[in-house]
């Protein structure tokens, strides 16, 4: 029984580390914009040139951001002839949201699950 509790705590710590890295990858305005654009183009994704045109991010900077997102498995990439096509990895995003949801909406009920849907309105300040 004590062994199970230790394993659960160790698993919680491992999950926290893993998800912290994913949240960190989303920690810039440019990467959030990239993710939103890729989600709007789901499931087909976009080639790098289209992302660059839409978001007006310099190529070298865009490459850095896309690599960070890819490294954390938040986006997928596939080669099409001479182009790279990026798409949001919805499985990873589902896991990330599930991690948050489990804490805030099931275990301690800090947030009412029915209030989670974003309507496009600015966040309310407390």
pLDDT in tens, 4-16: 444 444 456 677 7
| Number of C-beta neighbours around residue 25 at 10 A | 19
Is 118 among the domain residues? no
What pLDDT score does 16 carry?
79
What pLDDT score does 12 carry?
60
Is 65 among the domain residues? yes
Whether residue 70 is predicted with pLDDT greater than 60 in this model: the reply is: yes
pLDDT-wise least confident of 14-18, 30-34, 46-50, 66-70:
14-18
Whole-number percent of the chain with pLDDT over 90: 53
Give the span between the Cα atoms of 57 and 34, in whole angstroms. 10
Is 3 among the domain residues? no
pTM above 0.85, yes or no: no
Instruction: Tell the burial category of 106 from Cβ atoms under 10 Å away from its Cβ (0-12, 13-18, 19+).
Output: exposed
| SS3 category, 117 | coil
The parent domain of residue 70 ranges over 12-112
């Amino acid at each position: 029984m004590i062994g199970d509790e230790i394993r659960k705590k160790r698993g919680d710590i491992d999950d926290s580390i893993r998800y912290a890295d994913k949240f960190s990858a989303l920690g810039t305005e440019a990467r959030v914009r990239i993710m939103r654009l890729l989600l709007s183009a789901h499931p087909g994704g976009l080639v790098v040139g289209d992302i660059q045109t839409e978001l007006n991010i310099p190529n070298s900077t865009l490459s850095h951001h896309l690599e960070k997102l890819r490294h954390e498995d938040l986006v997928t990439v596939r080669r099409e002839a001479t182009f790279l096509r990026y798409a949001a990895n919805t499985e990873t995003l589902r896991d990330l949201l599930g991690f948050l949801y489990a804490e805030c909406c099931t275990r301690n009920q800090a947030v009412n699950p029915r209030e989670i849907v974003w309507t496009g309105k600015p966040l309310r300040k407390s």
